[in-house]
């Protein structure tokens, strides 16, 4: 068995230090010992220990434990993920219990049972590594979230439809209510979820997004609930699930309408108990998240068709927000087009580009089956391909929109329409099947089947 865990033992009894080093070297990868607690800061700065075994008394004749409390506090200041196990005499158990309240994880009494001591330290190593992974994920997520505030598009629009959405966001953001966001593909459901998080009391915590349409039965639990090393063939190390990683922040479950009945049941149980059990583990882990879900499916109809659990529907749907389709937001099309024109003009160094009046009119009368996402792609392609300083209707609709104001140039044959939609989705997603299936509002399996059918 591979040895794991870096241990530091701090005690003023040299015989005890030698004894522990001999005993523990067969089960842990690194055992360091020191008899002077003043050396702890220097050692921690050079080595990332998992566990420190700390004696409670270092001053001769003083059995109050004040030395242990002092150094326990200092250790936690230096490395909050470090797990501290106290070494104490049997008569000092009350002091040890108080120390646990101050941040220690466990205590061992002299004399100890060797095997029990080893198991205690092994459990502490697991706790320490889990602490580090969770905090690492949260730090990375915080950085990503800060970047995303700038990377993701703002919610643009003056139409009454989008203003109604924003008013609801402002009302519910600071509550803990679960939110279900409905809307067609490309209407900006993720943007609304991020806006809710940004305006919530959890705004400085993690925002994790999971696209449920990309998770099959075999990886669902591992991704959301985590797993322990050895839980299955490819589980080469412990993995923190998204529920635990997002604890304290917001978890956004996109495409929830794609979940199978079996996975819906597992998700419902977790939401009811507020606990997850990593795959391969017997220990449950509590979590604290704000849940936001989204789908382009008609969940009410799916409930009636008995393919979506009614109890899960009501669990995730304390507040429901419906994103309007772009074709219902005529007043916003021009605002969005100007935003995207400015964005892509700067990206592709074409700062003098303008859209003429006829092109604007064409934009307003387009059906926009792909909504804001399609408008964004259309403007980007026009900016790239336009050879003049003025973007005209031909520059727009010869490079992307599936349906334009001139619908007569398109066949009404369903097979051809499906083929064109798939080709465009694959083109827009640069061949990424997950993204293409999301654009089309179908599962990856369905998309593979249709690609095969059309010989793409």
C-alpha span between 331 and 85 (Å, rounded)? 64
d(CA 32, CA 62): 25
Confidence grade of residue 132 (pLDDT, cut at 50, 70, 90): confident
Is residue 107 predicted with pLDDT exceeding 90?
no
Mention the CATH class of domain 6-131.
alpha beta
Domain 326-454 fold is Helicase, Ruva Protein; domain 3 (1.10.8)
140 against 350, higher pLDDT: 350
Residues 185-199 pLDDT 10s: 999 999 999 999 999
pLDDT tens digits for 275-316? Answer: 999 998 888 889 999 999 999 999 999 999 999 999 999 999
Tokens 């507040």 found at: 319
pLDDT band at 402 (very low <50, low <70, confident <90, very high): very low
Average pLDDT, rounded, for the chain: 85
Q: Return the pLDDT at 91.
A: 55
CATH code 3.40.50.300 region(s) in the chain: 152-322
Please give the structure tokens belonging to residue 317: 């749907």
pLDDT at 310: 96
pLDDT of residue 140 exceeding 70, the answer is: no
User: For the chain, where do the domains classified as CATH 1.10.8.60 start and end?
Assistant: 326-454
Q: What global pTM score does this model have?
A: 0.63
Coil/strand/helix, residue 368: coil
Of residues 450 and 374, more confidently modeled: 374
Per-residue pLDDT, 106? 80
The verdict on domain 152-322 having CATH code 2.60.120.590 is no
Long-range contacts, 405-411 (Cβ 8 Å, 24+) = 405/361, 405/362, 405/365, 405/366
Q: Where in the chain is the domain with CATH 3.40.50.2300?
A: 6-131
Rounded to an integer, what distance in angstroms lies between the CA atom of residue 214 and that of residue 60?
Answer: 63
């Amino acid at each position: 068995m591979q040895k794991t865990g870096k241990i530091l033992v701090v005690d003023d009894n040299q015989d005890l230090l030698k004894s522990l080093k001999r005993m523990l070297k067969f089960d842990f990868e690194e055992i360091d010992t020191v008899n002077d607690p003043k050396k702890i800061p220097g050692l921690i700065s050079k080595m990332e220990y998992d566990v420190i075994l700390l004696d409670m008394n270092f001053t001769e004749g003083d059995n109050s434990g004040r030395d242990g409390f002092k150094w326990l506090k200092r250790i936690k200041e230096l490395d909050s993920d470090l797990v501290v196990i106290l070494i104490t005499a049997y008569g000092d158990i009350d002091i040890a219990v108080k120390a646990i309240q101050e941040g220690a994880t466990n205590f061992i009494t002299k004399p100890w049972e060797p095997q029990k001591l080893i198991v205690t330290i092994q459990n502490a190593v697991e706790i320490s590594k889990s602490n580090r992974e969770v905090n690492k994920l949260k730090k990375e997520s915080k950085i990503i979230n800060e970047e995303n505030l700038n990377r993701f598009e703002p919610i643009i629009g003056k139409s009454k439809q989008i203003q109604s959405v924003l008013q609801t966001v402002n009302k519910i953001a600071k509550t803990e209510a679960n939110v279900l966001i409905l809307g067609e593909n490309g209407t900006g459901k993720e943007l609304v979820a991020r806006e809710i998080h940004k305006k919530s009391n959890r705004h400085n915590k993690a925002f994790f997004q999971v696209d449920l349409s990309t998770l099959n039965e075999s990886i669902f639990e591992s991704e959301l609930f985590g797993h322990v090393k050895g839980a299955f063939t490819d589980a080469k190390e412990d993995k923190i699930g998204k529920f635990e990683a997002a604890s304290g922040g917001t978890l956004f479950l996109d495409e929830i309408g794609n979940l199978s009945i079996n996975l819906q049941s597992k998700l419902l149980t977790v939401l009811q108990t507020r606990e997850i059990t990593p795959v391969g583990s017997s220990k449950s882990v509590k979590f604290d998240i704000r849940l936001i879900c989204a789908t382009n499916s008609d969940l009410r109809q799916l409930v009636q068709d008995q393919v979506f659990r009614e109890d899960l529907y009501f669990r995730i749907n304390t507040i429901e927000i419906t994103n309007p389709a772009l074709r219902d937001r005529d007043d916003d099309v021009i605002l969005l087009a100007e935003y995207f024109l400015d964005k892509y003009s700067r990206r592709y160094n074409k700062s003098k580009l303008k859209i003429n009046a006829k092109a604007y009119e064409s934009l307003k009368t387009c059906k926009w089956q792909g909504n804001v996402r399609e408008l964004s792609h259309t403007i980007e392609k026009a900016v790239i391909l336009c050879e003049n300083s003025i973007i005209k209707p031909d520059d727009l609709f010869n490079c992307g929109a599936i349906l334009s104001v001139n619908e007569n140039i398109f066949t009404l044959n369903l097979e051809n329409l499906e083929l064109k939609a798939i080709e465009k989705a694959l083109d827009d997603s640069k061949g990424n099947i997950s993204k293409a299936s999301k654009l089309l509002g179908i599962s990856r399996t369905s998309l593979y089947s249709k690609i095969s059918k059309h010989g793409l």
